[in-house]
RNA sequence: GCCGGCGUAGCUCAGUGGCCAGAGCAGCUGUUUUGUAAACAGCGGGUCGUGGGUUCGACUCCCUCCGCCGGCUCCA
């Protein structure tokens, strides 16, 4: 198994090398950076000085690569003492390779720290002193590379270049910007085709596309980038999910609070956010006072003010607040995209103020809530526990950290969640649990986190009176089930491909009249009223169009139930629901009484089920 | 913010340094009275993202800005 993966990686690595060979041929002045294998392919970073590679060049690049592959040139591995390799890099004006080699010579490792984990590749030799490095030659092209490579260029399977993008040298925004040419590579054409099909599937599910097709949200140039507006249909989605999250948390003892959207900046100076994230805050100027106000980028400091508004006893704790509200962050424009990254961020935010000995029980609570939430929306959940390491970069008492980390882990185990632990990944103010939700096509998304905070209670001087009358400091726990509702929706829309279950479907039932006769329209109208009385979201399509066309329109909107109304229904008082395919359970085309049908649907909405069963 | 690509009707997309810029769908009007994924006909609709420049002439070439897309960096 792992052999296979190693082979695949070697192959992709070799493909990167072959691509470099082709690039070098067309742009002899190319200066190469790193060219590793990725999850499904490879890339190479390259700097072409004054010119650039564009996707229009892919055809000739691919043709050249195919030529090299057909020639089946052997890959020759050349071991060189590191100084000779540096001389080679200098002779060939490979300034980036030279930099890497110098680092390698100095410290024994390189790149590793600067690049994302899976992107390490070119030459991390591991530890200790590096005496020599490897170069690989095929034909008359030589490249510095850790390898390994396949034996010869003929043994690389199927590939396709997919895009070209920008990337900073060594991931540092202060350094040169290079071009990163991405390709995908697989052992066979078949796998490559499957991959491309999967890409296409992901494209079909893209929430931006579905948001438009299903009429869920819009953007306007006049309003601004990263500021989505939700249509009536989209707002139903937001509100149903928010209500679910709120209900769930209220059941677990949270109380709703409300805080204003602007505040004096002193609040964030005290919390410490101003110095750290000040440039991401939107400023608001008062014309009446000299106050420097800001739009809130988070709710926790506000919530500490509610906590601190009266003296608290150990008997009062834990105190749990929830607020589903919108915060504003001035994200860099280049980072915005769809609903995934926005500047108006609606959070289902909550904060617990707890005693140290209550942490585990509270985390338990929150994990149970998260478990329930994600099981209802049918997404797999896995968690990552992030702990501190031994460095000094963390605030708060070390004993408190250790106790808290242990309690986190206990709670995760109690809730039988699949988890992994990462040391050194905690925030400076406390350990945390990140939730990774898996969507219908296998992608993982980080949505919610549970985050312990030892710092804000300190900075805000939060206290409670302990049993012995002394003052003690509570810990804060930040938690959101969805995280950002916008990001959550972007994930959920793609997860469900827009086929929303009844409880969130903006339109649950559509009635189609077969003709325009008043008998038919009246009957539809009566059923419509009946459904509305049950709180169902229903619409009648009485337009003067063919039934086929109206069905098609309803299908495209992915409406769960479509009811055709004509002579038969009027006579029998029974309908044959057309059930959206993903919900149907082998009892299609059976007539059901109108009363029973509506009751069933209303029940499905209340119980938030996915599948439908009209008959018992 | 940085690198690259892009911006033509509500949507998806054609189009050429030069007469009045096109199609399908959607919309509107009429005909049709329709039975489970597209009836037929007609009509309306675009200062070709924005501001400037080059040119006898620009939707087409160049620059600014706005926005979108793919990455990078970032993500309390």
Q: Is it true that the peptide bond before A577 is cis, omega within 30 degrees of 0?
A: no
pLDDT in tens, A519-547: 999 999 999 999 999 999 999 999 999 99
Phi and psi at residue A137, to the nearest 5°: -125, 135
Measured CA distances, A497 to A378, A501, A557 (Å): 13, 11, 11
Q: Cα separation of A343 and A499, whole Å?
A: 27
Distance A571 CA to B67 C1' (A): 55
Closest by alpha carbon to A325, among A259, A235, A392, A422? A259
State which residues of chain A have pLDDT below 50.
1, 110-128
The protein footprint on chain B, as nucleotides within 7 A of a CB, is 1-5, 11-12, 26, 31-39, 66-76
Q: Cα separation of A580 and A560, whole Å?
A: 5
C-beta atoms surrounding A182 within 10 Å: 18
Q: Which nucleotide is nearest to A167 (CA to C1')?
A: B72
Using alpha carbons only, give the angle A238, A542, A553 rounded to the nearest 5 degrees. 55
Q: What is the complex's ipTM, to 2 decimals?
A: 0.93
Hunting for tokens 């040139």 — which residue is that? A73
Cβ burial, residue A355 (10 Å; 0-12/13-18/19+): middle
Q: Which nucleotide is nearest to A330 (CA to C1')?
A: B75
Q: Any atom of strand B under 7 A from CB of A566?
A: yes
The pLDDT value recorded for residue A200 is 86
Q: Cα separation of A404 and A407, whole Å?
A: 5
Residues 152-171 on chain A lying near strand B, CB distance under 7 A? 163-168, 171
Q: What share of chain A in percent tops pLDDT 70?
A: 95
The pLDDT value recorded for residue A68 is 94
* Global pTM value: 0.91
Partners of A539 in the β-ladder? A510
Biggest CA–CA distance in chain A, Å, is 93
Q: Any atom of strand B under 7 A from CB of A574?
A: no
Q: Which nucleotide is nearest to A226 (CA to C1')?
A: B67
Distance A211 CA to B10 C1' (A): 15
Q: Any atom of strand B under 7 A from CB of A18?
A: no
Nearest residue (Cα to C1') for B26?
A553
The pLDDT value recorded for residue A111 is 42
Distance A278 CA to B74 C1' (A): 14
Q: Cα separation of A299 and A273, whole Å?
A: 12
The pLDDT value recorded for residue A115 is 36
Nearest residue (Cα to C1') for B75?
A331
The pLDDT value recorded for residue A132 is 81
Which residue spans within A485-547 are E strands per DSSP? 509-513, 538-541
Question: What b/e string do you get for A452-465 counting C-beta neighbours within 10 Å, with b at 16 or more?
Answer: bbbbbbbbbebbbe
Tokens representing A232?
A: 């009536």
Q: Any atom of strand B under 7 A from CB of A269?
A: no
Between helix A398-414 and helix A359-376 the angle, nearest 10°, is 40
Closest by alpha carbon to A207, among A241, A223, A230, A240? A230
Q: Any atom of strand B under 7 A from CB of A33?
A: no
A62 and A77 Cβ atoms separated by less than 8 Å: no
DSSP A268-287: HHHHTHHHHHGGGSPEEE-S
Give the DSSP H/E element, type plus range, for residue A23. helix A2-26
Hunting for tokens 């500490």 — which residue is that? A304
Distance A33 CA to B54 C1' (A): 40
Distance A56 CA to B18 C1' (A): 30
pLDDT in tens, A188-246: 999 999 998 888 888 889 999 999 999 999 998 888 899 999 999 999 999 999 999 99
Q: Which nucleotide is nearest to A54 (CA to C1')?
A: B4
């Amino acid at each position: 198994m792992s052999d296979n993966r190693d082979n695949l990686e070697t192959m992709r690595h070799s493909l990167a090398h072959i691509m470099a060979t082709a690039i070098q041929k067309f742009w002899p002045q190319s200066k190469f950076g790193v060219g590793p294998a990725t999850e499904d392919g490879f890339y190479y970073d390259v700097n072409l000085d004054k010119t650039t590679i564009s996707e229009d060049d892919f055809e000739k690049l691919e043709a050249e690569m195919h030529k090299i592959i057909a020639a089946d040139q052997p890959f020759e591995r050349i071991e060189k003492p590191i100084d000779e390799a540096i001389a080679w890099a200098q002779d060939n004006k490979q300034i980036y390779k030279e930099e890497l080699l110098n680092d390698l010579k100095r410290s024994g490792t390189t790149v590793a720290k600067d690049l994302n984990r899976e992107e390490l590749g070119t030459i991390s030799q591991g530890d200790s002193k590096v005496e020599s490095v490897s170069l690989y030659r095929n034909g008359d092209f030589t490249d510095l590379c850790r390898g390994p490579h396949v034996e010869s260029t003929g043994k690389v399977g199927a590939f396709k270049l997919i895009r070209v993008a920008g990337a900073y040298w060594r991931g540092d925004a202060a350094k040169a910007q290079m071009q990163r040419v991405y390709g995908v590579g697989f052992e066979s054409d078949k796998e490559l085709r499957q991959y491309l099909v999967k890409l296409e599937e992901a494209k079909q599910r893209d929430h931006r596309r579905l948001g438009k097709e299903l009429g869920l949200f819009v953007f306007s140039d006049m309003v601004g980038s990263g500021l989505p507006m939700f249509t009536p249909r989209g707002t139903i989605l937001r509100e149903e999910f928010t209500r679910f999250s709120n209900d769930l948390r209220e059941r677990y003892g949270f109380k709703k609070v409300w805080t204003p959207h602007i505040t004096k900046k002193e609040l964030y100076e005290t919390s410490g956010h101003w110095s750290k994230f000040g440039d991401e805050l939107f400023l608001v100027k008062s014309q009446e006072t000299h106050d420097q106000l800001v739009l809130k980028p988070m709710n926790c400091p506000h919530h500490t003010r509610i906590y601190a508004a009266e003296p608290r006893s150990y008997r009062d704790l834990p105190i749990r607040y929830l607020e589903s509200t919108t915060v504003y962050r001035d994200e860099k424009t280049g980072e915005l995209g769809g609903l995934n990254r926005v500047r108006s961020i609606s959070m289902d935010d909550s904060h617990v103020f707890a005693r140290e000995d209550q942490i585990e029980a509270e985390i338990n609570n929150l994990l149970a809530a998260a478990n329930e939430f994600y099981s209802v929306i049918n997404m797999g959940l896995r968690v990552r526990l992030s702990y501190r390491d031994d460095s000094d970069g963390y605030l708060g008492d070390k004993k408190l950290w250790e106790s808290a980390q242990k309690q986190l882990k206990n709670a995760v185990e109690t809730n039988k969640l699949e988890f992994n632990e990462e040391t050194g990944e905690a925030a400076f103010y406390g350990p945390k649990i990140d939730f990774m939700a898996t969507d219908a096509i296998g992608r993982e998304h980080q949505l919610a986190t549970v985050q312990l905070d030892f710092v804000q209670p300190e900075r805000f001087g939060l206290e409670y009176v302990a049993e012995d009358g002394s003052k003690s400091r509570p810990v804060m726990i930040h938690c959101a089930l969805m995280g950002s509702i916008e990001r959550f929706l972007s994930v959920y829309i793609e997860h469900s491909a827009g086929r929303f279950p009844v409880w969130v479907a903006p339109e649950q039932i559509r009635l189609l009249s077969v003709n325009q006769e008043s008998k038919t329209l009246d009957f539809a109208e009566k059923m419509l009223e009946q459904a509305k009385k049950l709180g169902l979201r229903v619409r009648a399509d009485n337009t003067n169009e063919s039934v086929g066309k109206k069905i098609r329109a309803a299908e495209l909107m992915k409406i769960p139930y479509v009811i055709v109304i004509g002579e038969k229904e009027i006579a029998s008082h029974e309908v044959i629901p057309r059930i959206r395919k993903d919900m149907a359970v082998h009892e299609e085309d059976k007539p059901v009484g109108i009363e029973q049908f509506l009751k069933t649907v209303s029940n499905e909405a209340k119980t938030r089920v996915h599948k439908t069963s009209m008959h018992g």
